[in-house]
């Protein structure tokens, strides 16, 4: 008997079932939206009991969307272990991680457009922001970031914004090979890299440049 054989769909936990069904729900959502009809189609395709599937997504559409995001997260983590990203420069690490996510949903733009609309609903916005933060955190950790100070938070906030803006371009991009999205992503990453360089310069206590604190100190205690 092959011990690596995938478990039967009926033997999965609810959390495992959510992730197993998520890609098929996304495919169905292209036509049916993130609806019970999409869930039924996915369950039938995967051979899952529809009542159990509904239990796995008792939060409705937003639960389906979040499961889809989590499934992409897991696929990304499996594709970019430490030995893969180690030879890359930080710029290329981030670009590759974002591009992986775009490639993972290529052909599902309509499902993505509807998912973004659901996430933007007032009742879903707080949870969606948290979900976006978790994805940005995962990307930075895969990229090798170990910051624990406030940089930890600023980096994730910036990347979440960058990724969200890129998705907005991606869903409307009809250019050959999504060239407009790729160009947009490159420009945004270049901007982030420039910002990080400027920030590092200003936060370097040994830099030979203007210091506001030293200047104020001299005003208060002028040299004699």
Residue among 60, 64, 59, 62 nearest 18 (CA): 64
Residue among 76, 101, 99, 94 nearest 196 (CA): 94
> Residue 198 — pLDDT band, cuts 50, 70, 90?
low
Long-range contacts of 36-43 (CB under 8 A, 24+ apart): 38/64, 39/64
Lowest average pLDDT, out of 66-80, 97-111, 118-132, 182-196, goes to 182-196
DSSP assignment letter at 11: G
> Residue 129 — pLDDT band, cuts 50, 70, 90?
very high
**Is residue 160 scored above 60 in pLDDT?**
yes
Angle at the Cα of 177 from the Cα atoms of 174 and 178, rounded to 5 degrees:
50
Domain 82-220 has CATH 1.10.357: yes
Residue among 78, 73, 63 nearest 18 (CA): 63
Report yes or no on whether pTM surpasses 0.85: no
- At 223 the three-state DSSP class reads coil
pLDDT (mean) for 98-120: 97
Return the domain boundaries, the chain: 1-58, 82-220
Lowest average pLDDT, out of 3-7, 73-77, 102-106, goes to 3-7
Q: How far apart are CA 112 and CA 168, in angstroms?
A: 9
pLDDT at res. 5 = 56
């Amino acid at each position: 008997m092959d011990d690596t054989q995938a478990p039967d769909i009926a033997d999965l936990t609810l959390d495992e079932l959510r992730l197993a069904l998520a890609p098929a729900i996304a495919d169905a959502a292209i036509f049916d939206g993130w609806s019970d009809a999409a869930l039924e189609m996915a369950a039938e395709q995967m051979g899952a009991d529809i009542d159990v599937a509904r239990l796995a997504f008792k939060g409705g559409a937003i639960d389906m969307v979040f499961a889809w995001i989590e499934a992409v997260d897991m696929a990304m983590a499996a594709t970019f272990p430490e030995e893969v990203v180690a030879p890359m420069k930080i710029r290329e690490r981030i670009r590759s991680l974002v591009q992986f996510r775009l490639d993972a949903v290529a052909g599902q733009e309509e499902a993505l457009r509807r998912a973004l609309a659901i996430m933007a609903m007032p009742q879903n916005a707080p949870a969606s922001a948290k979900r976006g933060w978790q994805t940005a955190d995962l990307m930075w950790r895969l990229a090798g970031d170990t910051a624990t100070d406030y940089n930890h938070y600023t980096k994730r906030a910036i990347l979440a914004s960058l990724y969200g803006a890129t998705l907005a371009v991606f869903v409307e991009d009809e250019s050959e090979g999504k060239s407009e999205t790729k160009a947009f992503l490159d420009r945004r990453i270049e901007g982030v890299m420039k910002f990080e360089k400027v920030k590092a310069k200003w936060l370097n206590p040994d830099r030979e440049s203007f210091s506001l604190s030293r200047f104020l100190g001299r005003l208060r205690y002028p040299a004699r």
